[in-house]
Amino acid sequence: MAEITASMVKELREKTDAPMMECKKALAEAGGDMAKAEEILRVKLGNRATKAATRIAAEGVIGMFLSGDGKVGALVELNSETDFVAKNEEFIALAKACAELVVTKNPADVAALSALPYGEGTVESARTALVGKIGENMTIRRFVRLEAKGRLFAYVHGGAKIATLVDLSGGDEQLGKDLAMHIAAAKPKALDPSGVPQELIESERRIAIEKAREAGKPENMLEKIAEGTVGKFLKEVTLLGQVFVKAEDGKQTVGDLLKAKGATVNAFALFIVGEGIEKKQTDFAAEVAAQAAAAAKK
């Protein structure tokens, strides 16, 4: 049996906000498998165990740029250690410049973007110089470049902490702006069910079956219950299945809206600063105590 360490329990607790003992039990049941333990907690505790899935820890901004004809656009995530630096004008300017370079030069990856000429040197030399000037590390984490079949619309929210691009054919200017805003608010994972990772769907299915089983539902009903749960999940995480944020009746989906407008969403992109990154948590009191103890030993 895998050893369940205090650090493993702490990591699972930070991911789920579940009680410490529940985390330890789940890890023991899962044989130390973190992902499986998280599933076990979701079965027992419901959505409380997914709180950390949307926790954004890293700081920074999303640089955004659209070509003049609205046919090509890019989002670039530039991370910093603190929100204070993320508000620095030079830092923001670098993020926007990177997005423009992605549109105009079409680099293959972050390394290629970093090597592109910029100012009196390269993007990398500009980043390094800014690190030296500000005294805080910063990194280009990722970018996305979209070439539209129709026309691109963009939305930036919360001091450039969230940014979206949407490729729309048909419709009008207002529809494009509304859809870009909807994506920022509803945060879909895919355009339609075909774009949702199969492992994510299977995870939802397993959780639904176990929850139904624990609730005492008949075995011959479990698959049907799971199908219903997965169907609901897919509507919630796919753009076309989501209820439009500005729907007056609270029921009209994005898919219904597009049909009514004779429009089609070809693709979209959504970046959230620090998504998937856990910021290192510092216990200041413990750090001071450790430093004092080390000094005493000397």
d(CA 97, CA 117): 11
- Phi first, then psi: give them for residue 9, nearest 5 degrees: -65, -40
d(CA 291, CA 170): 63
| Tens-binned pLDDT, residue by residue, of the chain (298 aa) | 578 898 888 888 777 767 778 888 899 999 999 888 888 887 876 655 444 344 333 789 999 999 999 999 999 999 998 888 889 999 999 999 999 999 999 999 999 999 999 988 999 999 988 888 887 888 999 999 999 999 999 999 988 999 999 999 999 999 999 999 999 999 999 999 999 999 989 999 999 999 998 889 999 999 999 999 999 999 999 999 999 999 988 899 999 999 999 999 999 999 999 887 755 544 445 544 555 565 555 5
Q: In one letter, which amino acid is 5?
A: T
Placement of tokens 């009196």 in the chain: 120
d(CA 296, CA 288): 12
pLDDT, residue 44, reads 75
d(CA 267, CA 251): 23
270, 183 in Cβ contact below 8 A? yes
**H helix intervals, 19-109:** 20-29, 34-45, 83-86, 89-105
pLDDT, residue 289, reads 57
50, 42 in Cβ contact below 8 A? yes
pLDDT, residue 42, reads 78
Classify the C-alpha dihedral 147-181-199-9 as positive or negative: positive
pLDDT, residue 164, reads 97
Query: From residue 84, how far is each of 99, 116, 141, 156, 272 by CA, in Å?
Result: 21, 27, 18, 19, 18
As a residue count, the chain comes to 298
Whole-model pTM above 0.85?
A: no
Query: From residue 252, how far is each of 135, 185, 245 by CA, in Å?
Result: 50, 16, 9
